[in-house]
Structure 1
Amino acid sequence: MATIERVELQMIDLVPKVKRVDAIQSFVSQETPFVTITDSDGAVGTGYCYTIGTGGPSVMALLEHTLAPALIGRDPERIEGIWRDLMFLTHATAVGAITSLALAAIDTALWDLKCKKAKIPLWKAAGGVRDRIPLYSTEGGWLHLEQQALVDDALAMQSKGFRGSKIKIGREHISQDDARLGAVRAAVGASYEILTDGNQSFVLSEAIRRAQVLEEHRIGWFEEPLPSDDIQGHVELARRTSVPIAVGESMYSISQFKDYLQTGAASIVQVDVARIGGITPWLKVAHMAEAFNVMVCPHFLMELHLPLVCAVPNAKWLEYIPQLDAVTSMGMRIEDGFGVPSDAPGLGIQWDWDAIDAMSLGSRTITEGA
């Protein structure tokens, strides 16, 4: 039996290629912790997570001082057991973003290692339902962009075969969101999907008002209309509108998704593999949503989510926001508006380690247990 001998930790800060502004924040940087696990057979797996500009050092501290030392000597194939042990090891700080992000970096590294040793790509190892998934673009729909820029980007993506675009909403007055969405709808026609994202910026009464506008423009979903901990507010909003309610990027446990699904507070699950704590819990949420006949359309991390949405039967979309171009030797494969997962063993991400090392903000190697 092979055991884990070494855990390498490092973090880089990726600056977005374009300005990204939504109703509550601006993305000025993306701290990206990496975990690389080597077992006694010499097999290597790499995982990662992310924060939007802050919190990365806290994730790294939890990995260095608590989680990584607990991996030494463990059987890397016992992924579920490791995940549970590490969760209970950090029970005083869970459920929460820092713990989930740290767990995700480890869990994705273990899945990468397992798939590489088995010589199978993640999308097949996790289910292998489909070999491609339709893309929608968020990168040209940010809140600061003017109306014509939104139209131009949606038309450009439509010409590339994309099936939809997401537009950020939450301008000061409802009429501004109305005009922006109306202009895009008029340009792209009825068959192109327009999705919207409020980024938790509304109170319930205003969300109900905005949902009426979304219905008029035949919007595909209303994402994060309210703060994520307001389940009852989402229940009431879902009752008052025909626009599907999408949630998930700000939720950090399986149980939180269970509460939304049981109460009918959401009809689209946007579980984020980094924020839920890795591939292991991501698959559980996806299959739980399947039991409720609910779609899974994950948030961000397109390179990592691509094999996962191709693994499960209830996924419909992959969100296009380029993230890793500066640190990969090969970009995500796109054909006629579809994301196509790699057949290479592992996660399917081809890391450029020279670029990562050059951008590193610090590293640590763990070879002895706690």
Structure 2
Amino acid sequence: MKITKIEVKKLSIPLPKPYKLSKLYGTLYNTEPVVVKVHTDEGIVGYGETDAMPLFTGESPETVFVVISEAIAPALIGRDPLNIAKVHEVMDGITKDMHLAKAALDMACYDILGKFAGLPVCEILGGKLRDELPIMGSIGGGSPEKNAQDALGMLDKGYKSIMVKVGGSNVELDIERTHAVREAVGAGYPLIADANQGWDVRRAIRYIKGIDSCKLELFEQPIAAWDVDGLVKIKEKTDMALSADESVMSLENAKILIKEKAVDVFSMKVS
């Protein structure tokens, strides 16, 4: 089997309502995925998708579009999409990093492989581990009162956990918001906070101490992605379980975080 054509489309999809993140990211009004369509000489077509955000991933929809269209796609024409290891070798030989651009094509090749084999991709990867996954709701910004109302709405819709986006300019307000959500959902319901790199070590520790009674499951990416030493300091000075998101963009990143015992959990995105 050979790849004959790769189509790349950049989309902009309005969100149902503005999604306020940390002070670093601001407020999102649209999601801008890049979708690839990989054609083969046997008529099988594979689809892949990625959703880049410059401050989050180091890639933008524009860079992903250009890198795939002008660099990677031409090099993959004539290649066997079933030989995914070789596909990655070719992509890595063209550009370092650009993980999200490569992820979209990786996904499309696995889609082709699954269709060719007549199997769900999960079976190819080792088998299905569960029949369903619990879905997490997310609360972005707003007042404590509005956050509490939103949390109750998510409970009614059946969400099994909630992430509260923090990392704003006012740490005390984010503490109040977290307490309001905890009071609304009650003790024992899984809550996670995510600062999206919005704070420094001092502010992150202040927040952790301020919400100690809320008993969060995790605190995700409290500080800048590059600041592994800072994550270690937070671990040393608090009992909060920390999650790395923006800090773990590669296998090399993961190895460093594990070696330094900087976090407890990785939050992984597939595209």
Under a length normalisation based on structure 1, what TM-score does the superposition of the two structures give? 0.68
Aligned counterpart in structure 2 of residue 59 of structure 1, from 61, 64, 67: 64
Match of 2:131 in 1: 131
Equivalent pair of 1:249/1:272 in contact (CA under 8 Å): no
Q: Is the 8 A contact 1:15 1:29 kept in 2?
A: yes
Aligned pairs (5 A) from 1:1-370: 2-23=1-22, 24=24, 25-52=26-53, 55-90=60-95, 94-95=96-97, 99-127=98-126, 128-138=128-138, 141-143=139-141, 145-249=142-246, 251-274=248-271
Count of aligned positions: 264
- Change in 2 beyond 3 A, CA 1:72/1:192: same
The residue matched to 2:174 in structure 1 has which SS?
A: helix
Answer whether contact 2:167 2:222 (CA < 8 A) is retained: no
- 2:51 alignment partner AA: Y
Offset, 1:151: 1.1
Q: Distance in 2 between matches of 1:263 and 1:61?
A: 36
1:185 to partner: Cα distance = 1.3
Query: 1:177-235 CA deviation, whole Å, 9 max, x = no partner?
Result: 22211122122111211110111011111211111123221011111101010111111
Percent identity for Structure 1 against Structure 2: 27
Give distance in 2, aligned partners of 1:160 and 1:18: 17
Alpha-carbon spacing, 1:217–1:269, altered in 2? closer, same or farther (3 Å): same
- State the alpha-carbon separation in 2 of the partners of residues 56 and 182 from structure 1: 36
Please, what TM-score do these two structures have when normalized by structure 2?
A: 0.91
Q: Distance in 2 between matches of 1:225 and 1:118?
A: 43
CA 62–171 in structure 1, closer or farther in 2 if over 3 Å, else same? closer
Task: Tell me the distance in 2 between the aligned counterparts of 1:31 and 1:184.
Answer: 29
The structural deviation recorded for 1:49 is 0.8
- Note the residue ranges of structure 2 that are not aligned, 5 or more in a row: none
Distance of 2:16 and 2:135 partners within structure 1: 19
1:29 positional shift? 2.6
Question: Secondary structure at 1:15's aligned position in 2?
Answer: strand
**Runs of 4+ in structure 1 displaced over 4 angstroms?**
none
| Aligned-residue offset at 1:250 | 5.1
Distance in 1 (CA, whole Å) between partners of 2:30 and 2:36 is 20
User: Deviation string for 1:290-323 (max 9, x for gaps)?
Assistant: xxxxxxxxxxxxxxxxxxxxxxxxxxxxxxxxxx
Looking at structure 2, the residues matched to 225 and 242 of structure 1 have their Cα atoms a distance apart, in angstroms, of: 14
CA-atom RMSD in angstroms: 1.7
Aligned partners of 1:251 and 1:257 also within 8 Å: yes
Q: Deviations over 1:110-139 (max 9, x none)?
A: 11111112222233332311111111101x
- In structure 2, C-alpha distance between the alignment counterparts of 1:174 and 1:55, rounded to whole Å: 29
Is the contact between residue 243 and residue 267 of structure 2 (CA under 8 Å) also seen in structure 1?
Answer: yes
CA distance in 2, matches of 1:202, 1:31: 26
